[in-house]
Structure 1
Amino acid sequence: MSQRADMFIVGAGPAGLCAALRLQQLGYRVVLIERSAAWPRPQIGEALTPGVKNIVDFLDANQALENVPHLTRLPTRLSWRSRTAETVAHADAAVVDRSAFDAALLRLAIARGIEVHQPASLDSVGGRAGDWQLAFSTPHATHQVQARMILDAQGRRNSQPRQMLCAPRLSAMWAEIAESDIPSELAHVTQVEALEQGWLWGTRLPDRRYRIMLLSDPLVSRQLGQGRPESWLRHHCGASSLFAGAARQPFCSPLQMCAATPYVAVDSWQDGRLKLGDAAFALDPISSSGVEKAMRFSLQAAIAIHTVLQAGNEAQRTLAHDFYQQRLIETCARHHFWTAAYYRQAWCSEQPFWQERSTPGMAAAPGNREALLMSEALQQEIDQLASYREPVIQAGLDMQTSQMIRFHHLVQIVSLPCVTGDKVELRPAMRHPHLERPLAFWENEAILPRLEILSQKAALSSVLDLLGQSMNLQKARRLLSWLRQRGLVEIVSD
């Protein structure tokens, strides 16, 4: 007999576990399977950006993760814009033991009542959205589950034909140096260095080893490395200024390699089946924000799922889909736009490796309609980012209530799917070249439709009265001054 569940999640990495914990918070019964028999799994992606802390706080997971080995306050020695190194402080970033991080999240999921099977393999999928019939196997049994939705969090799978590449191909190779062999100049810093045919990253790990990773074009590495990846890695260390001391040190781990090309899956949302984390998208590792973005996207996907399952009509279900797609497109496009700009800053930016990656544009596979639509949506988001203009901060309003004000003529009011409470709702938002993204909320307050009065000139006193119905007067004044300083609101004559 089949057991019943609301969510069937495949994959126990940060994306799958984050979604499982959030959906369980929302009252859903979750079954999660993980194929890996060895646990915790060896992982890369140890650098966690500061935003992960907010996600951990939101999931109430601080206590569960407090004993995960980690290092903080490691300065970064950077040789990027020039061959002369500069040191940058990163007080809020952390380097964690990713295996321990994933294992702690899994233990938390089990402790909170999420049904976990590991190791387990998915055997078959039948049925339809809302009534999936699934079979999976564990070492000693076969199980049947009836689920409302399926979430694929199985990670990067290089052979998937539905992935659209967002940049030229990139590969990563890495190895580790034992504590006793770490050169003194590397012992207490994270290092990043741009080279003509790629870039090097290295950091101390919580287990005291030092990891060195080379990111390069896989075709070039095969051609010039002559099939000897360790020699290729050592060659780049020897040619660098920051890693030269490690070029001849013995490696205490086997050399490992993986694909690192950024991509987006064009079929991430199907009726009743969603992709999360690396199953949906992968980012260029240059920002070290992949784990944070995967976890954050899982939280957003959970809200879309909740909206779909609570929806009373097709319009609400469509809105949830649009929200999911917009977050996916925004995540990939913004990261691609940022990385292209960062590649342009490298001292060796005229080299082919850098030239190929420094143009923020998308190209779809010919003849693939879904990829074409995704490519167009990504390009539209990139074009919008390119049109953003950093505002010249002006003087704020002097709060003379007789002043007449209105929106700048380039302000547009658009409809935007937004998270309100635990669901997606359509909200009015402001769009303007001085805003990186449409603005619906300011300091957690909805600013429209009350501010639509500024589509025409209005007395400051009248605007303050309207805003005062939803926020205190001091906050209303700060909001109007903030809009004025960025050129979104202008003073007009009577």
Structure 2
Amino acid sequence: MVQNFEIVIMGAGPAGLTAAIRLLEMGHAVALIEQEQFPRPQIGESLSPGVRHIFDYLGAGELLQDARYLHDIPARIAWSEGEPVLLEAGQRGAGWMVDRAHLDAQMLALAVRMGLHTFQPARMVASSFHDDRYELKIQSAAGNLIITSNVVLDGRGRNGAHSRERVELAPASVGIWTHVASHTMPPAARPHEARIETVQEGWIWGAPVPGNRYRVMAFTDADLIKEKGPAKSLQLMLSQARLFGAPQTGRESDIKSCVVNAYVHTTPWHQQFIKIGEAAFTLDPLSSTGVEAAMRFSLQTAIAVHTMLSDGDPAVARAFYESKLADAVATHCRWTSDYYERSAQSEAQSSFWKKRKNFGMDEIAVPNAFIGMVKQRASREAPVHRAAEAPAVPIEPLIGFLWNKPVRLSSRLTYSTEFAVTGDRVEIRQALVHPNLARPTVYVNHIELPPLLNTLPEGVTYGAAIENWCRHFAYADIKKIFGFLWAAEVFE
């Protein structure tokens, strides 16, 4: 028997489940294929502060309130030279250390309650695409079956991106991790505190994790692992550290390692087979925002998919998806390159630091237009803007003062064509561009700005413009828009 869906998602990690929940909210028929039975062990317990907003947006904020999870953890950082810096939880944002096996299972249960159809444990063994639909052959303990869908979202993590389909964004490293006996650590580094430190052979991260344990993870070059093996490499790096000392790391069999690399898929959107999460891109672990980035991009992918299914034309949806993916990768590459370059100036010139000091975006090959866009955005300098501040005078007196004066728009004001999310769909809209705006701006308070300015008659006064706008929008909203434009010096 063949079962039909609009969307099939492969992989029940944070990326896949975020997309599932959002697409179900939009009214789509969604199925999910997950190879493992839940709960299953999973690293990646550290969630950055921005995750909270995403969980709340998904209606899943209560999942982070589990008593076993840790939050408000201070961090002591010794990056490059100088004295270590202590950041209290309030300074760095309220992140979490969670039990990923438990959290992922809870997210899956929430999606199922919303109507998600699951095949678990199961895996796709073959696929074909014809007449704008996919036919997937599924193998499971319950037997083999066939399902069809308009769209397939691949959230299988690194298994969803073969090495020949990736463009590496930085030199690969090896992550080595284990749990340590907290009583053998310096008092300031015991389970109440996270630690990040650069050493000669790489850098080390440590943090308390649920279950009254302390996780230590070191990142180094493969050359060191080949020479000494994971256990001795970890001990060497810990012996070089100021913040960790030489804690007991337990049995050698408890020490695990894996290759860690930052990459982007060369063709993340192909014939409505769309990559999300680590199947699309990975970030250097230095950012500690991998889960948040995957979930945030899945929200944007859900909007692109909904747009495509609603309009029947994938062109705008795909362009939006690729633009958002290129921006996410480029922003991260610039940020991590800066941190690695600064530390490489002072650390011993081990293979790890030499590779990162000498690596540049110009080394990346460009196999297609999408990778060209990623490289172009990552290579250019991040724009520097002065954010618009609140007017120095109250809005009401300002409006009164300007009421009978003619509107004067800044000579530095221009317009661009941008993607805009209207409701749950992507559209192409005109945007304001000005040096004092952090980015091209389409909406303020959900009101589209360019039509307000484009329809102003020659010589119109501020009072006449406001009266005209108030025929369509509430005066309270117009005041906010007026204050925004005045603060950014769009009005002169």
TM range (shorter): 0.7 to 0.9
Mapping for residues 161-310 of structure 1, pairs under 5 Å: 161-178=164-181, 183-186=186-189, 187-219=191-223, 221-222=224-225, 226-246=227-247, 248-250=248-250, 254-310=254-310
RMSD over equivalenced CA pairs, Å: 2.9
2:367 to 369, 372, 383: 369
Mapping for residues 455-494 of structure 1, pairs under 5 Å: 459-469=461-471, 471-486=473-488, 488-489=489-490, 491=492
Instruction: Label 1:59 to 1:83 Cα distance change in 2 as closer, same or farther (>3 A).
Output: same
State the Cα distance separating 1:137 from its structure 2 match: 0.7
The answer to whether the 8 A contact 2:388-2:437 is kept is no
State the Cα distance separating 1:68 from its structure 2 match: 6.7
- Tell me the residue number matched to 1:387: 383
Instruction: Label 1:474 to 1:28 Cα distance change in 2 as closer, same or farther (>3 A).
Output: closer
Instruction: Label 1:51 to 1:394 Cα distance change in 2 as closer, same or farther (>3 A).
Output: closer
SS in 2 for 1:194: strand
Higher mean C-alpha displacement, 445-454 vs 162-171: 445-454
The answer to whether the 8 A contact 2:266-2:367 is kept is no
The answer to whether the 8 A contact 1:332-1:378 is kept is yes
State the Cα distance separating 1:14 from its structure 2 match: 0.6
State the Cα distance separating 1:204 from its structure 2 match: 0.2
Instruction: Label 1:310 to 1:235 Cα distance change in 2 as closer, same or farther (>3 A).
Output: same
Number of aligned residue pairs: give it. 479
The answer to whether the 8 A contact 1:65-1:104 is kept is no
The answer to whether the 8 A contact 1:125-1:135 is kept is yes
Deviations 1:422-449 (A, max 9, x none): 1111121123444443222234433222
- Tell me the residue number matched to 1:139: 141
State the Cα distance separating 1:358 from its structure 2 match: 6.4
Cα distance in 1 for residues equivalent to 2:11 and 2:194: 30
Deviations 1:398-420 (A, max 9, x none): 44224555444443311112211
Cα distance in 2 for residues equivalent to 1:236 and 1:328: 34
SS in 1 for 2:250: coil
The answer to whether the 8 A contact 1:412-1:432 is kept is yes
Counterpart amino acid of 1:381? R
Cα distance in 2 for residues equivalent to 1:162 and 1:406: 52
SS in 1 for 2:431: strand
* Greater helix share, structure number: 2
State the Cα distance separating 1:301 from its structure 2 match: 0.7
The answer to whether the 8 A contact 1:70-1:206 is kept is yes
Cα distance in 2 for residues equivalent to 1:213 and 1:260: 12
Unaligned runs of 5+ in 2: none
Unaligned runs of 5+ in 1: none
Counterpart amino acid of 1:85? P
Deviations 1:103-128 (A, max 9, x none): 11122222333121222121110133
Counterpart amino acid of 1:202? G
Mapping for residues 324-473 of structure 1, pairs under 5 Å: 324-346=321-343, 348=345, 353-354=352-353, 357=356, 362-363=361-362, 366=365, 369-370=367-368, 373-382=369-378, 385-390=381-386, 396=392, 398-399=398-399, 400-401=401-402, 402-404=404-406, 406-452=408-454, 459-469=461-471, 471-473=473-475
Mapping for residues 311-326 of structure 1, pairs under 5 Å: 311-312=311-312, 314=313, 317-326=314-323
Mapping for residues 26-45 of structure 1, pairs under 5 Å: 26-37=26-37, 39-45=38-44
Cα distance in 2 for residues equivalent to 1:32 and 1:463: 52
Cα distance in 1 for residues equivalent to 2:196 and 2:137: 46
State the Cα distance separating 1:480 from its structure 2 match: 3.6
Cα distance in 2 for residues equivalent to 1:243 and 1:422: 48
The answer to whether the 8 A contact 2:169-2:364 is kept is no
The answer to whether the 8 A contact 2:329-2:378 is kept is no
SS in 2 for 1:439: coil
Deviations 1:6-57 (A, max 9, x none): 11111111111111111112222222111124x3232222111222122212
Instruction: Label 1:229 to 1:105 Cα distance change in 2 as closer, same or farther (>3 A).
Output: same
Counterpart amino acid of 1:229? P
Cα distance in 1 for residues equivalent to 2:358 and 2:385: 19
Cα distance in 1 for residues equivalent to 2:405 and 2:348: 56
- Tell me the residue number matched to 1:74: 73
Cα distance in 2 for residues equivalent to 1:295 and 1:233: 31
The answer to whether the 8 A contact 2:11-2:34 is kept is yes
State the Cα distance separating 1:471 from its structure 2 match: 4.4
Higher mean C-alpha displacement, 302-311 vs 340-349: 340-349
Counterpart amino acid of 1:231? K
State the Cα distance separating 1:461 from its structure 2 match: 2.9
Cα distance in 2 for residues equivalent to 1:79 and 1:167: 22
Counterpart amino acid of 1:325? E
- Tell me the residue number matched to 2:15: 15
Give the structure-1-normalised TM-score: 0.88
State the Cα distance separating 1:394 from its structure 2 match: 9.2
State the Cα distance separating 1:180 from its structure 2 match: 5.8
Cα distance in 2 for residues equivalent to 1:455 and 1:182: 72
Cα distance in 1 for residues equivalent to 2:245 and 2:456: 61
- Tell me the residue number matched to 1:90: 89
Cα distance in 2 for residues equivalent to 1:197 and 1:406: 59
- Tell me the residue number matched to 2:104: 102
SS in 1 for 2:8: strand
Instruction: Label 1:253 to 1:94 Cα distance change in 2 as closer, same or farther (>3 A).
Output: farther
